[in-house]
Structures are given as structure tokens and as C-alpha cells.
Structure 1
Amino acid sequence: MKFAVIVFPGSNCDIDCYKAVEAIGQPVDYVWHTATDLSDYDAILLPGGFSYGDYLRCGAIAQFAPVMGEVVKAAEAGKLVLGICNGFQVLTESGLLPGKLMRNRNLKFLCHQSELEVMSNKTPFTNQYSEGEVINIPIAHGEGNYYCDEETLAKLEANGQIVFRYANGGNPNGSLRDIAGICNERGNVLGMMPHPERAMDQLLGSEDGKRMFTSILNAWREKNGAAVNG
């Protein structure tokens, strides 16, 4: 399985994502935002950071990068796309996921460990977790307050597209219904504000993020006839 880590001007979690893929023993490339071909890749990671300086809105300029046309094509073809933090913002701005990310409720940048409840383990990104499990994944964002209209929220709930919620009353940013991560209807595009790539080893406080990457690998291998356990 081959991964691409998209790098925008202002990305700063690209190395973390690269190292996370290395940790599960899979090939991975950095791909610059001007790229116009992602056909060699099975999974695409949009990392955290401050793409294009977060001018206008977070992710608002990145949606026009040449590579995003290819990300859309990859998503439409059923390839796996994971947007983390700023990557989640880019996915909503580009229309691959519904809703928007607004300023945190307290208008402050937040950087600390957070507890997430796994709402669904039926996605390619969460098949190595248990439904209802509480995991420890760090956050680092100033605009993580997820919002959508009531109709969209009802669809997310009905379709099981809310993949992660902040657990145990620990909503750090005012996000609607404690939403920390959502997927598209097809389930192959996931956006989340917390950083699983920073929770790959207990030495860093948690290794709960590693199972997201082994889930992706497991889903790909099952699809291609060679399942693996995390």
C-alpha cells in the first residue's frame, strides 16, 4: 500500500504523518501542492498546519491548489483520504465533507491531550478500534469548532457519519454535538481535528493513534484479499 502526504505552503505536520506511515512499514511520499497526478497512491493524507497562512479562512485557499483536483478524483474513485486538523478544514472547504470549522469557543489556540469516543468502527479508518471505546489523541488547533446546519447534522447522525466525539464532557472548542471527526457517506473520506499521527508511541503519551493507520492498511488489504490485524 502506498501513501501520499500532501504538502501545502504552511503545512507543519507533514513529517509527523510521514513518520506515522513509516511506523506501520508502508511506502510513503511527500507530494507538493502543485502535483497533478495521484494515480500511484492508495491513500492520501492531508496534514495539519496553516496552509497558505490560513488567509481568508483555514483551508479556503488550499481548496484551489492543483493537487486538490486530484484529491477529489481519488475520493470519487474510492481511494482513502484522511484530513487531519488543517486537512479537515481543507476537506470541508473543498466540499469533500459537509460543514465548516470555526474559531474555538474561547478564541484561544488549544494544544493538549483529548479523549475521543469511537462512534463507529465500521469505517476503513477505525476497524481496529471498538465501538464506544475512549481513546487518547492530542489536539492542536485554533479553529476546531465544527458546525453545520440542522439538516446536515440530521444526515450525519442518521448515516453514522459521526466517527469521533469528544468524550466525557471534554469538548475543548464548542464543536456541535461534541463532533471531533466525520466521514463522507461512502466512508472513504475522513476529517478529524485531533492528531492520530502524534499518538503513535506510549513515550509520547499515547499510542492510540497507531490503530488508525493499521486500520487503513487492514481495509486496503481486505479489499485486495490479504487481511492483516493491527
Structure 2
Amino acid sequence: MKFGVVVFPGSNCDEDMVYVLKNILGQQVVKLWHKDHNLQGVDMIVLPGGFSYGDYLRSGAIAKFSPIMNEVTEFAKKGGYVLGVCNGFQILCEAQLLPGTLIHNTSHRFICKNQFIVADNNVSPINASIPLDRVLNIPIAHGEGCYYADVETIKEIEDNAQVLFRYCNPEGHITEDANPNGSVNNIAGVTNIHRNVFGMMPHPERAADEELGNTDGRLIFESLLNHMMANV
């Protein structure tokens, strides 16, 4: 598979993502600059974490106007796979490729720590291979990670099984105390209705190398790859 990792001014997790996709998972990877129009024939686009355009106005609000986002939008409309992590998730919501938005953490503090999450279902490529009773320990690092949507939208994504992951405690229980940022219903990630665009606040690329003592994030990438390769 060929992955394209988009680099915006202010991206700072692009090298982490490239390293995991290329060195850990053995995939072909190219970097796509935010002004590019050529997607170089990639099979999947990844929008990494960071602080695109300094998070001015609000996270992702300026990045959605980058030239490459026109290509990302068309790619997604044609069924292409797109993953946004942290700032990438924020950008996808701002570009309306995913429902809802990300607002300031209820604590009004930047949070950087390991966080437990659990797959909500197995109906999307990104969580299809993850046992529902498997608790994943994935780092988070954000100041605007509180997932929010109006009541109607929340009901719609819940009914359509568009929630990918939820924040939980070490035992896998979804509780208020296990919610690090105040996200509605402990939502840590969502997909679009067609299940080809994915967004999540936790950083799976930071938990994919054995040298770090945690490879839970690799399960998320492997779930995606298993689905993609099965449908080549």
C-alpha cells in the first residue's frame, strides 16, 4: 500500500507517522506538502498531529483552506481512505469530512498522557480487527480534544455505529472519570457515513514501536491494512 502523509506549516507528528508506516509496517510512504495538488497515486491519505498554522482562530480552521484539502476532499468523495490523527482529526471536522467538532478540553488545560480507549464496534476498517474487550493504551496530547456535536448529530452517529473508539478506564469501562477532555459520550474517534474517512484524537503512531514498550497503536494500523489489502 502507498500512503501519503500531509505536511502543513506547524505539523509536528509527520515524521512519527512516516516512521511507523514505513519502518514498522513496511509500507511505501510519500510526504504531501500542503500546497500540493498531486496525490502521487496514494492508496490512503494521513493527516498527522501538530499545530497547523499555529492553531490560530481554532485548531484546523485555517488548514482546511490549504490547496491540498481540495484534493483530499475529492479523494474521499471517490471512496479513498483518509485518516486524521489529533490535529488531523480537527482538520477533517473543520472541512466537514467528519461530523462534529473538537473544542477546548473542559479542564482548559493541555493534556499529554497515556489514555485507555476501547473499540466501540467492529464495522469500520480501522477497528474491524480489534477485539471489543481489548483495552488499548494510546497517548493523547491536545488542548482542543473535546468532541462535540448537537444532540441530533450524536444520535445519528451512535445509531449508525460511526463511533470508532471511546475513552475508558483500565478495565474497559466507559465512565465519566475515564473521560480526559469532556468529549460527549467519551467519544475518542469517529468515521463518516461511508466508513472511509476516520478521525481520532489519540496518537496510535506513538504506541507502535517495541522500543517504546507499547505496541497497542499498531493494532489500529494493522486493522486498516488488513481491510485495504483484502480489497485490493
Query: How does the TM-score come out when normalised to structure 1?
Result: 0.95
Percentage identity across aligned positions?
51
Unaligned runs of 5+ in 1: 225-230
CA distance in 1 between partners of 2:105 and 2:164 (Å):
20
Match of 1:216 in 2: 224
Cα displacement (A) at 1:39: 5.2
Q: Which residue of 1 aligns with 2:146?
A: 145
**Match of 1:199?**
207
Structure 2 counterpart SS, 1:96:
coil
- In 2, Cα distance between equivalents of 1:197 and 1:165: 18
Count of residue correspondences: 224
Contact 2:103 2:147 in 1 (8 A): yes
**Which residue identity is paired with 2:180?**
P
Deviations 1:29-69 (A, max 9, x none): 11100011225000110000000010111000000000001
- The answer to whether structure 1 residue 42 and structure 2 residue 43 are counterparts is yes
Relative distance call for 1:141 and 1:99 in structure 2 (3 A) is: same
Match for residue 188 of structure 2 among 180, 195, 217: 180
Q: Distance in 1 between the 2:18 and 2:218 partners?
A: 13
Tell me the distance in 1 between the aligned counterparts of 2:193 and 2:119.
Answer: 17
Match of 1:65 in 2: 66
Matched residue, 2:2: 2
- Tell me the alpha carbon deviations over residues 104-133 of structure 1, each in whole angstroms, 9 at most, x when there is no partner: 111110100000011022211122211242
- How big is the shift at 1:82? 0.5
Contact 1:89 / 1:100 at 8 angstroms: preserved in 2? Answer: yes
**Does the aligned pair in 2 maintain the 1:124–1:215 contact within 8 Å?**
yes
Q: Which amino acid aligns with 2:122?
A: N
TM-score, scaled relative to structure 2: 0.94
Give the whole-Å Cα distance in 2 for the aligned partners of 1:148 and 1:41: 31
Mapped to 1, the partners of 2:195 and 2:133 lie a distance apart of 18
Q: Report what 2:172 is aligned to.
A: none
Give the stretch that moved more between structures: 155-164 or 129-138. 129-138
For the residue of structure 1 that corresponds to 2:216, the secondary structure is: coil
Residue 124 (1) aligns with residue 125 (2) = yes
3-state SS of paired residue (2:88): helix
Q: Within 2, Cα distance between the matches of 1:175 and 1:202? A: 30
Partner of 2:164 in structure 1? 163
CA distance, structure 2, for counterparts of residue 152 and residue 206 of structure 1: 34
Q: Is contact 1:47–1:84 with CA below 8 Å preserved after alignment? A: yes
User: Which residue type is aligned with residue 10 of structure 1?
Assistant: G
| Secondary structure class of the residue paired with 1:209 | helix
Q: What does residue 228 of structure 1 align with?
A: none
